Amino acid sequence: RPRVFSGIQPTAGSFQLGNYLGALRNWIALQETHDAFYCVVDLHSITIAKDPEELRANTRNAAAQLLALGIDPERSTLFVQSHVAEHTQLGWVLECLTGFGEASRMTQFKDKSARQDDEHVSVGLFTYPALMASDILLYGTDVVPVGEDQRQHLELSRTLAQRFNSRFGPTFVVPDAHIPQDTARIFDLQDPTSKMSKSIPSGVVEFMEDPKRTAKKVRSAVTDNERDIRYDPENKPGVSNLLVIYSGMTGRSVAELETAYEGSGYGDLKKDLGAVLVDFLTPFQRRVAEYLDDPAELDKVLRRGAERARAVASRTLRDAYDRVGFLPPA
Ligand code: AQP
């Protein structure tokens, strides 16, 4: 079976709707056909300062949310990045293969660093894409399900795999991005021209928030002054975003929704989409609470996952270190 790898940050205690429609939905689907490695990337999370207690809680929260969404730890290897030291060990080698200019061109770094003053922008935020490449390349990954915002980082992972292979001999599989066609980029409900993101919390649907609040956020989503419900991202970004979300959550096509809502107002669309999200989030949150109720069991799942991950990662690292010319340790 081909191998799939992906990771998600344990940020702020809750996934958001963009994470789900852009990536996590595919994580779940790909378990059926692929040998899956899924990772809570806590090392990436500290590129921006985090409180230790919150980080610990949020890492468990993230794992519980993944299980509640349907990641099956029997079939898939679910683990925490910092439990597998090989990620940072290979990360260093890949940092040394990454050009300073190449890393400077990463748009996510430019965006995130622009929001803080220079003294607060960590070197880790800058080198993060090399660590991400390490995450992926350690597992001989064929496909990486991610949202559109990760395309450039994925491209760098491919470049680094090819560069290493041509300099030191064939070692890494060159991974392909698996980006959904329809829901690759979900936009903020209050500002439908920017990406929905937890870093700019205005119109973000958080999976752990009170579903009533979600319905309210959808009701007050920014639309436009017209009346017709039509997919036109250029001129009607707000309504188009709602249609894409609705379609992603229900499997009904955007065209089908346009027909169904012909003659209806924005209020009807928003009310119905709010109800769809409430019906999804209510049982989801109940399942998350059950997993969090038993942290010992949760930790056991993650420990087992880390053992399985380490078995694969350590072989790849040994091979890569040998090719680079490091002496074997013993
Ligand atoms: N708005 C989005 N639309 C589609 N996909 C998205 N992803 C994130 N936002 C959107 C995808 O979710 C996966 C996990 O992303 P991450 O670990 O980078 O999550 P994050 O960074 O903690 O979440 P945010 O809210 O996106 O924060 P910012 O913007 O601060 O980084 C990835 O596959 C990503 O593509």
**Whether the predicted model's global pTM rises above the 0.80 cut:** yes
Nearest 5 degrees, angle CA 187-CA 25-CA 39?
100
Element (H, E) at 36: strand 35-40
Dist. CA 220–CA 68, nearest whole Å: 28
Determine the pLDDT at residue 13.
84
Dist. CA 150–CA 185, nearest whole Å: 10
**Among the atoms of ligand 1, which is closest to the Cα of residue 204?**
25
Determine the pLDDT at residue 115.
86
Strand ordering across the sheet containing 3-8: 77-80, 35-40, 3-8, 143-145, 176-178
For the chain, list residues with pLDDT below 70: 201
Q: With a cut of 0.90, is the ipTM above it? A: yes
Handedness of CA 19, 22, 27, 29 (dihedral sign): positive
Compute the distance from residue 18 Cα to the ligand 1 centre, in Å.
6
Dist. CA 156–CA 18, nearest whole Å: 22
216 labelled catalytic: no
Closest CA to 141 of 66, 34, 9: 34
Residue nearest to atom 26 of ligand 1 (CA): 197
Residue nearest to atom 12 of ligand 1 (CA): 19
Determine the pLDDT at residue 119.
81
Contact present, 147 and 197 (Cβ < 8 Å): no
Determine the pLDDT at residue 205.
97
Contact present, 225 and 244 (Cβ < 8 Å): no
The label of the residue with tokens 């079976």 reads 1
Determine the pLDDT at residue 104.
96
